[in-house]
Amino acid sequence: MIKPINQITVLKTCVIISLLLLLFNQGCNSLCGKEVEGDLNIAPSTPVIHVVFTGEENGYLEPCGCSEKQLGGFSKRHTLINHLREEDGHLILLSLGDLTGNVGRQGEIKMETALEALGLMGYDVHNIGEKDLDIGTDLLGYFSQISNVGFISSNIKFTTPVLEIKPYVIKEVKTKETILKVGILGVLSPELVGNYYHDMEVMDPVLSLKPLLKDLHDKTDILILLSHAEMEESIKIAEACPDLNLIISGHMVDRPDLYLEKVNDTYIIPVGEKGKYVGKITLSSQQKQVGEGEHFDNLSPGIEITPLDGKFEDSSDITMLLKIYQQRLRDEELLLQVIKSDPSSSLTFIGNDDCAVCHNKIYKHWEETGHASAYETLEKVEHEYDPECVECHVVGLNYFTGFETIESTPGLKGVGCESCHGPGSDHKETQSKDYGRVHVGVERCGTCHNDEHSPNFEFEDYWQKIKHPREGK
């Protein structure tokens, strides 16, 4: 199977995936959930290539900074990858799919930015996920042509001819004595595709893979599948396609370090959510004289999962890219394109100043809380034109009569009275006692203080910090 550089030799290279479990996550013994199968004996071998895998960013370009200790982001990832490259130049970088989370213009700009970032980092392959498809085949085709990263899908049939999406890629890795050929395939589970597309069809993964694998069997030394599917389905693929050495998988799996599956000789590992972790598998090649017909079957996995935490600096290149991204959101005035709905029963937002007239004591106190300066917080980190941030840092962005821009609705910046009490137009007239009582409380707080943005939120504890003073009658 191996083609040595000096063809005279009948040397066969036996490829071993050796195992390193370097777990950075303190305290939370990261592999607690799952036994790591396969022995941990590291063969006396020379590491030649490292497969680095990420995916399912779902639009998460960077941690928002809403709370401490958030993981992930392209900027830290770049720093880690540069570091890994210093250790060993032979990196294969794989992206599982779903770079963007939302449809619409912001999703498109995001996808373009994310692909530029992957290109900068030197990614080899991007597999198509169902969210990538949502940006539309025209734009996907355009991105596949301009991107440095190779797009693959083994089971999506496109009828648009311009798309630069290949069924597989063979990546050659030179070592001292030989060239290792790594075959990389990619599938998307048809079950994850909700929309109907007139210009493409998602085929059965196994049926699509079979002929490709047959073809690749003699042309490659290692076969890796990017399986954009849930673990369960990836396991079935492994059962049906024993030629695969490694499957990168895992839809809706938040932490990759908790799951590792083995089916016969195929290892299956998920990428985790939102690019918070970077996975790396070390492939070692051992020169070995083997008889005809022998396979390299003594595989054991070598996996390193790194949470992207504060240890990693932000890379200046990606920081610059993200600045440009913010500038584009501003230039294209995406705040004005936010889809709005009606607030309940034709009420309108009136702004904090009106409330101050009658509830002055509460107003004065509120002014001193972080809520009042939540918009300025975004200005400080230069994200005040990003609808995805502004949403929780102002009053009513997603409603008619709510915040639009700082110029047109300055009175609705920050988390104001009506962020918690709802639109107050009616109450201003009637001074009804019922107003603002109904929904205030844990639920209302939770629309902003959710797990992602406020992981330490506890109502009692938080409310005490911002509790209104008693109003004198």
- Which runs of consecutive H residues, i.e. helices, occur in 243-402? 316-331, 352-358, 360-367, 374-380, 387-393
Tell whether residue 359 is a contact of ligand HEC (CB under 6 A).
Answer: yes
Give me the least distance between CB of 136 and ligand HEC, in Å please: 25
Size of the site for ligand HEC (CB under 6 A): 61
CB of 411 to ligand HEC, least distance (A): 11
Q: How many CA atoms lie within 13 A of 180 on its CB side?
A: 24
Does 418 contact ligand HEC by CB under 6 A? yes
Residue among 324, 336, 381, 438 that touches ligand HEC (CB under 6 A): 381
- Residue 208, SS3? helix
Question: Would you count residue 259 as binding ligand HEC (CB under 6 A)?
Answer: no
Task: Using the minimum distance from each CB to ligand HEC, give the nearer residue, 159 or 360.
Answer: 360
Q: What beta strand segments (E) does 216-288 contain?
A: 222-228, 246-249, 261-263, 266-270, 277-288
- Using the rule CB under 6 A, is 100 a contact of ligand HEC? no
CA distance 119 to 147: 7
Report how far residue 432's alpha carbon sits from residue 126's, in angstroms, rounded to the nearest whole number: 57
- Residue 176 is classified by DSSP as S
Instruction: By CB under 6 A, name the one of 158, 277, 312, 366 that touches ligand HEC.
Output: 366
Task: Please pick, from the candidates 131, 171, 393, 413, the single residue that binds ligand HEC as defined by CB under 6 A.
Answer: 393
Q: What minimum distance in Å lies between the beta carbon of 255 and ligand HEC?
A: 21
Q: Given candidates 255, 274, 280, 371, which one binds ligand HEC under the rule CB under 6 A?
A: 371
Of 42 and 356, the one with the shorter C-beta distance to ligand HEC is: 356
Contact status, residue 348 vs residue 401, Cβ threshold 8 Å: yes
Q: Does 420 bind ligand HEC (CB under 6 A)?
A: yes
* Crossing angle of the two packed helices 316-331 and 105-121, in degrees rounded to 10: 160
Check residue 360 for interaction with ligand HEC (CB under 6 A): no
Is residue 419 close enough to count as binding ligand HEC by CB under 6 A? yes
Closest-CA residue to 306 (of 257, 251, 250, 269): 257
Backbone angle region of 352, left / alpha / beta, with phi > 0 → left and psi within -120 to 50 → alpha:
alpha
For residue 349, the minimal CB distance to ligand HEC (Å) is 8
Q: Does 448 bind ligand HEC (CB under 6 A)?
A: yes
Is residue 427 a contact residue for ligand HEC (CB under 6 A)? yes
Task: Report the residue number, 125 or 350, with the smaller CB distance to ligand HEC.
Answer: 350
By CB under 6 A, is residue 118 in contact with ligand HEC? no
Q: Which long-range contacts (CB under 8 A, 24 or more apart) does 200-205 make?
A: 200/133, 200/137, 200/156, 200/157, 200/158, 200/159, 200/160, 201/156, 201/157, 202/155, 202/156, 202/157, 203/155, 203/156, 203/157, 204/155, 205/154, 205/155, 205/229, 205/233, 205/237
The nearest distance, CB 87 to ligand HEC, in angstroms, is 32
Q: Per-residue string for binding with ligand HEC, 49-88, x by CB under 6 A?
A: ---------------xxxx---------------------
Q: Using the rule CB under 6 A, which residue among 122, 391, 406, 411 binds ligand HEC?
A: 391
Q: How far is the CB of 406 from ligand HEC (least distance, A)?
A: 15
Reported as type and span, the H/E element at residue 443 is: helix 442-446
Residues paired with 281 in a beta bridge: 51, 303
* Residue entry with tokens 């990538």: 132
CB nearer ligand HEC, residue 256 or residue 416: 416
**Residue with token string 């893979």:** 209
Show contacts with ligand HEC in window 1-60 (CB under 6 A): none
Residue 110 interacts with ligand HEC (CB under 6 A): yes or no: no
Residue corresponding to tokens 């000096």: 6
H/E run at residue 105: helix 105-121
303-307 and 277-288 beta bridge pairing: antiparallel
Q: Give the one residue of 23, 203, 362, 406 binding ligand HEC; rule: CB under 6 A.
A: 362
The number of helix segments (H) and strand segments (E) in the chain equals: 15, 18
Match 């089916």 to its residue by tokens. 263
> Whose Cβ is closer to ligand HEC: residue 319's or residue 369's?
369
Task: State the nearest-atom distance from the C-beta of 65 to ligand HEC, in Å.
Answer: 4
Question: HSE on the CB side for 232, CA within 13 Å?
Answer: 2
Chain residues that interact with ligand HEC, rule: CB under 6 A: 64-67, 350, 352, 354-355, 357-359, 362-363, 366, 369-371, 373-374, 377-378, 381, 383, 386, 388-389, 391-393, 415, 417-421, 424, 427-428, 431, 433, 435-437, 440-441, 444-445, 447-450, 453-454, 456-457, 462-463, 465-466, 468, 471
